[in-house]
Chain A
């Protein structure tokens, strides 16, 4: 992009260079019209979600610069804020789709007018190349595709220019929603192929820096470690054009600085703020704070069954009754989120997930339960937390330590750096007692159970093993939710989780963002990353 043009279009008038730097600085940071400035705390490390090592904040490129075959609808939350609607699958690049009579394939009809940002039409060949890439590069994309039973290129068939077919290895309710997550984005295969090499047939080096999609925005500029500038793709066909022409995403590591920036009104939105800031800024007239409970996500305390005392269900239940839930929620979450304790009934009423567990702070009950075990005198256990998430884990751990001390369990807090955490907690699963924050993108209870309650699966860091749970998950994972037996089976799963408590839920966290009143169109998505496609300024 032309440097001069950028400055001009950014609406900057030259500042008098004669003014001394420390005298009143005229607000150059007030965003030029038609652009929005976003601050985030993390850094974007790639423009390609399929690349190895791409971090979560980078997923926003897949959202803003690419389209998928399908997308989700939008719903209004109780507080008036917007959220994507998991229950409503909508067309994106596909205009219609249907399952064949034999139930073995799904046929997608691509929209006639769909074009990539370079103007070339989106064809079934592009779709096939993109999905082939998602299942072939390995790593996280392959795992996510596999969740939708999409595992090999042979499943993806080009019928003609605008018709595409997916052959199913099994009918599954997860297949269609999995096509609407960020991973199966549709890439302009002509551009990608032109930039591929024999060593790099999937053009990972090129797409790492140059998105080639049909999405609402293009990347105008990327200064790694500093900023990313989106520019509207005026050829976008998958929705009404975004109201904001240019979105500048600035990376500001310090939370205090981000807060000063949004409070001063120099930026339009601070994306993903701490619970503390969200609580403290919520009363202000000039800012709006949106806190959305993160679907299918629970902050848990996990007693590890490979640690002998926790093999006993009663010990786990005693721990669950010894926790000071209210204080933890107030002090560690600043009251942001949904309580996951205090259900009155030992059986779930419905299949909603997450839902409160039938535990509450009750020391007598905890002592009574513990006295029926071999550990009536208590025991010592290290309580591990992830230093990378210390903002909520540290206060939580301190309060848990206090609670456990009351029933004679002596917990020593062990802080583990971020890089070691995954290995220790999730891969080796060797932490006797630890805090955990798994959330699933696909919003079904059975999907959560699949990852977190089955022996050997990544997020089952408690080493929980129950053949009945395994069987129930196998049965329900791909079953449609309107299947007559689905609801009973899921309720049974939840009932077992209530009773066995290999994971002790604390609360369901929220995603918080603070924005100026001027900005509208903020929408929560399960991927918890910036989606600027509906942003609008000045009409809020």
Chain B
């Protein structure tokens, strides 16, 4: 068993190793955004701009300078913690990310929670009863989950629960306009609302979260359930389970304490992948539910060649990925003591 102190040391070492990776990401995003076709100056010069005003905009954006110089300016700003101003939204990129990232994270976390609550037991049950009814239900659900596009599920849910039944609130983003966001602490409305003891706000935020969360959960359910099932089946057929059963351990102990713990490793890996994928890729869900998240922000920015916003988005996603991978690696050591960090 590793000691916590060495874990801290490893975390620091891993973070140090991440620096070159981050620099690579910064350089690659910078070059790639510049390589995109399209001229932001012409785009933002407005509906009736002439050559002169386009040139003025280009100068104002600093795009008239040579690329290496632009890169150095960008690095200098980064070192001061400035991500620049997004020209398409007119707001500093860092402000936008601080506002939008929690919106996406709250949605993704809750969706993953819902999908895990359903998918993990479903996967386990399907693994214990292969070929039985529950296994077929699992198969149908996962197939439907991956094959239905999220905007379709989203619109379908809006149509049924909002338009026809009127059970769900209007799909108008994170909060109905009658409420104000709770004081900013974490940016998660559920948590901030609870801090401020504004329970009606928490309730309103939760009702807004429901439909988009279910939409995303249906989508993320598939890989989690499939992975749980596959990994459980593999573990259940291994020797130590047979030994455990032969030793007369209870079914519960065998399944949860021995089998499930061993099946967790690939599941955690999958979870990490699903999480990062969902965070950046739920653009369509964000559009349908007018969710002010990070995915739609990045796509809009990309469409109009908004360099600062794209760079800021990629950089923050890279940082999230690094942290996420680190967390997963640390989790491994808890799940499986044989695994050591850093080697």
Least CB distance, A119 to chain B, in whole angstroms: 27
Scan residues 221-244 of chain A and give those whose CB is less than 8 A from a CB of chain B: 223-227, 229
Is A23's CB under 8 angstroms from B167's CB? yes
Is A21's CB under 8 angstroms from B206's CB? yes
Per-residue B-contact encoding for A4-24, CB less than 8 Å = 1, 0 else: 001100111011010101111
In the complex, what distance in Å separates the CA atom of A14 from the CA atom of B30?
49
- Say yes or no for B60: interface residue by CB 8 A criterion: yes
Least CB distance, B77 to chain A, in whole angstroms: 16
Residues of B with C-beta under 8 A to A143: 46, 48-50, 53
Is A260's CB under 8 angstroms from B171's CB? yes
The one of B166, B200, B296 in contact with A25, judged by C-beta atoms closer than 8 angstroms, is B166
Least CB distance, A451 to chain B, in whole angstroms: 7
Residues of A with C-beta under 8 A to B87: 52-53
Is B178's CB under 8 angstroms from A264's CB? no
Residue of B nearest to A43 (CB): B89
- Say yes or no for A256: interface residue by CB 8 A criterion: yes
A253-B200 CB under 8 A given contacts A138-B56, A139-B45, A261-B172? no
The one of A22, A254, A260 in contact with B159, judged by C-beta atoms closer than 8 angstroms, is A260
- Say yes or no for B290: interface residue by CB 8 A criterion: yes
The one of A28, A224, A251, A264 in contact with B90, judged by C-beta atoms closer than 8 angstroms, is A224
Per-residue A-contact encoding for B45-67, CB less than 8 Å = 1, 0 else: 11111111110110010000000
With contacts defined as CB atoms under 8 Å apart, how many contacts are there between chain A and chain B in the complex? Answer: 199
Residues of B with C-beta under 8 A to A254: 155, 287-290
Is A257's CB under 8 angstroms from B168's CB? no
Residue of A nearest to B182 (CB): A3
Residues of A with C-beta under 8 A to B45: 52, 139-140, 422
The one of B51, B199, B206, B296 in contact with A253, judged by C-beta atoms closer than 8 angstroms, is B296
Residue of A nearest to B39 (CB): A423
- Say yes or no for A485: interface residue by CB 8 A criterion: no
Residues of A with C-beta under 8 A to B297: 225
A86-94, A332-340, A346-354, A413-421 - the one binding chain B: A413-421
Residue among B155, B158, B167, B172 with max Cβ neighbours from chain A (10 Å): B172
Least CB distance, B209 to chain A, in whole angstroms: 8
Least CB distance, B155 to chain A, in whole angstroms: 6
In the complex, what distance in Å separates the CA atom of A64 from the CA atom of B166?
33
The one of A53, A229, A257, A427 in contact with B289, judged by C-beta atoms closer than 8 angstroms, is A257
- Say yes or no for A115: interface residue by CB 8 A criterion: no
Least CB distance, B289 to chain A, in whole angstroms: 7
Least CB distance, A244 to chain B, in whole angstroms: 14
- Say yes or no for B138: interface residue by CB 8 A criterion: no
Least CB distance, A308 to chain B, in whole angstroms: 25
Is A261's CB under 8 angstroms from B39's CB? no
A45-B290 CB under 8 A given contacts A143-B50, A250-B172, A264-B170? no
Least CB distance, B320 to chain A, in whole angstroms: 20
Chain A residues within 8 Å of chain B by Cβ, number: 69
Chain B residues within 8 Å of chain A by Cβ, number: 70
Is B46's CB under 8 angstroms from A29's CB? no
The one of B36, B44, B53, B99 in contact with A138, judged by C-beta atoms closer than 8 angstroms, is B53
In the complex, what distance in Å separates the CA atom of A32 from the CA atom of B177?
10
Residues of B with C-beta under 8 A to A422: 39, 42-43, 45
- Say yes or no for A142: interface residue by CB 8 A criterion: yes
Is B179's CB under 8 angstroms from A260's CB? no
Is A55's CB under 8 angstroms from B53's CB? no
Is B38's CB under 8 angstroms from A417's CB? yes
Is A256's CB under 8 angstroms from B303's CB? no
Scan residues 134-149 of chain A and give those whose CB is less than 8 A from a CB of chain B: 138-140, 142-144, 147
- Say yes or no for B84: interface residue by CB 8 A criterion: no
- Say yes or no for B169: interface residue by CB 8 A criterion: yes
Residues of A with C-beta under 8 A to B288: 254, 256-257
Per-residue B-contact encoding for A419-437, CB less than 8 Å = 1, 0 else: 1101100110000000000
Is A15's CB under 8 angstroms from B200's CB? yes
Residue of B nearest to A229 (CB): B177
Residues of A with C-beta under 8 A to B172: 29, 250, 252, 261, 266
Least CB distance, B273 to chain A, in whole angstroms: 27
Scan residues 110-149 of chain A and give those whose CB is less than 8 A from a CB of chain B: 138-140, 142-144, 147
In the complex, what distance in Å separates the CA atom of A53 from the CA atom of B48?
12
- Say yes or no for B100: interface residue by CB 8 A criterion: yes
A418-B303 CB under 8 A given contacts A253-B290, A254-B290? yes
A423-B38 CB under 8 A given contacts A7-B179, A250-B290, A253-B296? yes
Least CB distance, A518 to chain B, in whole angstroms: 17
Residues of B with C-beta under 8 A to A423: 38-39, 42-43
In the complex, what distance in Å separates the CA atom of A139 from the CA atom of B57?
7
In the complex, what distance in Å separates the CA atom of A58 from the CA atom of B42?
18
Is A25's CB under 8 angstroms from B207's CB? yes
Residues of B with C-beta under 8 A to A14: 200
7 more A-B residue pairs beyond the given contacts A52-B87, A427-B51, with a C-beta to C-beta distance below 8 A? A17-B203, A25-B166, A25-B169, A29-B178, A225-B100, A253-B286, A420-B38
Q: Supply 30 A–B pairs (Cβ within 8 Å), ascending by A.
A: A6-B180, A7-B178, A7-B180, A12-B179, A15-B203, A15-B204, A17-B200, A19-B203, A21-B206, A21-B210, A23-B167, A45-B90, A52-B57, A138-B53, A138-B57, A139-B49, A147-B48, A224-B89, A224-B96, A226-B174, A252-B173, A257-B288, A257-B290, A260-B159, A267-B170, A417-B37, A418-B43, A419-B43, A423-B43, A427-B39
The 8 lowest CB-CB distance pairs between A and B, nearest first, are: A140-B46, A419-B38, A45-B90, A21-B207, A252-B290, A53-B44, A17-B199, A138-B56
